[in-house]
Amino acid sequence: MKSHVYLLYGEESYLIQENKNKIIEKTLSKEDQEFNISQYDLEEVPIEDVVTDAETFPFLGEKKIVIAYNPVFLKAKPDKLSFEHDVDSLLQYVNEPAGHTVLIIIAQYEKLDERKKMFKQLKKQGEVISCQPVKEWDIDKWIKTIADELHIVIPEDIYELFSSEIGTNLMALRSEMEKLALNVGGGGVVTRELAEQLLSHSAEASGLKLVDAVMERDLNRAIRLYKDLEKLNEEPIALTALLASQFRIISQAKVLKQKGYAQNQMRNYIKAHPYVIKMALKRERFFTQGELNHIMDQLAETDHVLKQGKMEKSLAFELLLYRLIQVKKHA
């Protein structure tokens, strides 16, 4: 056991869960896990109660684990609670932790105040593990890692499908890949057809499909996609904003391409997933700059109508799709 005190912090639930489970498995046998793990919410229980538990000997066995969630006192602006934490009791404990206990503090926050004495002490005497969301350029490594863990094969040429449909949420990625593993079995290969069929579709990916329907002047398909999104409780206002975002990226990609920028250089100017920029470059060829400007005007007008409540929302969005397709028909 490397340490008796751990701080896991960051917003990536999957990494927090993975690290927590690894610590538990290293510390306790399966039998001991049932009796020798206690958990506390520090928004409801003062830290001194957690320290007291950590100092108490295990009920059965030689080791125990104490897990404390939501250490608000580590934030730059701590939340107001109905009680005050005695942070000094934790400082003293971290300096001399009980040999029979592993204390895990879990802070699922975007940022902690690293200038605080408590954070510095945890870093010095314990082990601090960052569990921040993964970067877009690292997602391919995670697809490979999780596929290996699940004993399935995912060809590299469909990695981009996972990136576009799921993004960088590792918990969602793991869940979707487990679904695929159940279908193909151990050692099985995931095909593009199966991935397209089973992956939960993100709003962003559906936005790209709506753009395709407009590009192909296929009103029936556009309406069908909209109805599918409606069943998922996607609001017309949000979908209008989503389409505006996609067409804005297509427009930006067109302008940058005309200026001689390569796809990898565009990432400095277009704040979007590399896959979305790649798709924008494929789509920009089907629109003139004038058409894109007209489309953006139509989107802005519909956004105004929706927010003012001037028309029934579903009807307004269907009319928008009709108008966008007419832009191409009259090109």
Query: Closest Cα to residue 98, out of 53, 48, 44, 35?
Result: 53
- Mean pLDDT value across residues 267-282: 81
Give Dmax (Cα) for the chain. Answer: 79
Of 175, 198, 221, the domain-final residue: 198
Tokens of 177: 């890949």
Is the confidence at residue 268, as pLDDT, over 70? Answer: yes
Arithmetic mean of pLDDT over the chain: 87
- Mean pLDDT value across residues 242-261: 91
How many domains does the structure of the chain reveal? 3
Confidence band of 4 (pLDDT split at 50, 70, 90): very high
Is the confidence at residue 226, as pLDDT, over 80? Answer: yes
Is the confidence at residue 1, as pLDDT, over 60? Answer: no
pLDDT at 331: 46
90 and 150 within one domain: no
pLDDT at 206: 65
Is the confidence at residue 222, as pLDDT, over 80? Answer: yes
Is the confidence at residue 228, as pLDDT, over 80? Answer: no
308 and 254 within one domain: yes
In terms of DSSP H, where are the helices of the chain?
A: 13-27, 30-33, 47-55, 87-95, 117-125, 139-149, 159-166, 170-184, 192-198, 203-215, 219-231, 236-258, 263-266, 274-283, 289-308, 313-329
125 and 156 within one domain: no
115 and 140 within one domain: no
- Mean pLDDT value across residues 238-250: 88
Of 155, 181, 198, the domain-final residue: 198
Q: What percent of the chain has pLDDT over 90?
A: 46
- Indicate which CATH number applies to the domain containing 321: 1.20.272.10
Q: What percent of the chain has pLDDT over 70?
A: 94
More confident position, 257 or 227:
257
222 and 190 within one domain: no
> 179 lies in which domain range?
136-198
Is the confidence at residue 320, as pLDDT, over 50? Answer: yes
Confidence band of 86 (pLDDT split at 50, 70, 90): very high
Q: Facing residues of 106 across strands?
A: 8, 69
Residue 313, CA distances (Å) to 124, 221, 222, 250 in order: 56, 19, 16, 26
Query: How far apart are the C-alpha atoms of 201 and 207, rounded to whole Å?
Result: 10
More confident position, 203 or 292:
292
Query: How far apart are the C-alpha atoms of 253 and 178, rounded to whole Å?
Result: 35
pLDDT in tens, 10-60: 988 889 998 999 999 999 988 888 889 999 999 999 999 999 999 999 988
Of 106, 130, 154, the domain-final residue: 130
48 and 122 within one domain: yes
Is the confidence at residue 202, as pLDDT, over 60? Answer: no
pLDDT at 219: 86
pLDDT in tens, 58-67: 988 889 999 9
pLDDT at 138: 81
- Indicate which CATH number applies to the domain containing 24: 3.40.50.300
**Amino acid letter, residue 10:** G
